[in-house]
Amino acid sequence: MKITELKVHVLKSPLAEPFAFSQGWVTQRSATLVEVTTDTGLSGWGEAFAQGLEPPEIAAAVIEHALKPLVLGADPLDTEVLWHRMYHRTRDYGRKGSVVAGISAVDVALWDIAGRFHEVPIYKLLGGAFRTRVQPYATGFYRIEGQGEARRLAEEALRHFDAGFTLMKVKLGYGVDDDIACMREIAAALQGKPVRLMVDTNHAYGRAEALRLGRDLAQYDLRWYEEPVVPEDVAGYVELRRQLPMPIAGGENEHTLYGFREFLGAGAVDVAQPDIGSCGGLTAGRHVIALAQSHGVQVNPHVWGSAIAQAASLQFIAAVPVAHHSLFAQEPVLEYDRSSHPFRQHLITRPIQQVDGWVEIPAGPGLGVEVDRAVIREFSA
For residue 150, CA distances in Å to 86, 153, 219 come to 46, 5, 18
Spell out the long-range contacts of 87-92 with Cβ–Cβ below 8 A and sequence spacing 24 or more: 87/256, 87/280, 90/62, 90/66
Give pLDDT, residue 343: 87
What is the band of 340 on the pLDDT scale with cuts at 50, 70, 90?
confident
pLDDT on residue 52 = 79
Please give the DSSP secondary-structure letter assigned to residue 36. E
Output the pLDDT for position 137.
Answer: 98
Dist. CA 193–CA 336, nearest whole Å: 20
C-alpha span between 355 and 126 (Å, rounded): 26
Each residue of 252-283: pLDDT tens digit? 999 999 999 999 999 999 999 999 999 999 99
Q: What is the pLDDT of residue 178?
A: 98
**Cα–Cα distance for residue pair 233/239, rounded to 1 Å:** 10
Residue 160 has pLDDT above 90, yes or no: yes
Q: With 90 as the cut, is the pLDDT of residue 342 above it?
A: no
Predicted confidence at residue 356, as pLDDT, reads 93
171, 99, 126, 82: which is closest to 314 by C-alpha? 126
The Cα–Cα gap between 275 and 268 comes to: 17
Distance of CA 303 to the CA centre of its chain: 2
Q: What tens digit of pLDDT does each residue of 67-126 get? A: 999 999 999 999 999 999 999 999 999 999 999 999 999 999 999 999 999 999 999 999
pTM: 0.97
Q: Which of 149, 185, 136 is nearest to 19 (CA)?
A: 149
Task: Using a pLDDT cut of 70, give the percent of the chain over it.
Answer: 100
- E strand intervals along the chain: 3-21, 24-38, 43-48, 133-134, 136-140, 167-171, 196-200, 225-226, 248-250, 271-272, 298-299, 334-337, 359-360
The pair phi, psi for residue 299, each rounded to 5°, is -100, 130
pLDDT of residue 345: 86
Burial (CB < 10 A; 0-12, 13-18, 19+), residue 14, is exposed
Q: What are phi and psi of 47, to 5 degrees?
A: -140, 135
Amino acid in position 210? A
Rounded CA separation 366/112 (Å): 4
Average pLDDT of the residues in 344-365: 95
- DSSP 8-class letter at 323: S
Task: Look at residue 344 and tell me whether its pLDDT is greater than 90.
Answer: no
**Catalytic residue IDs:** 302
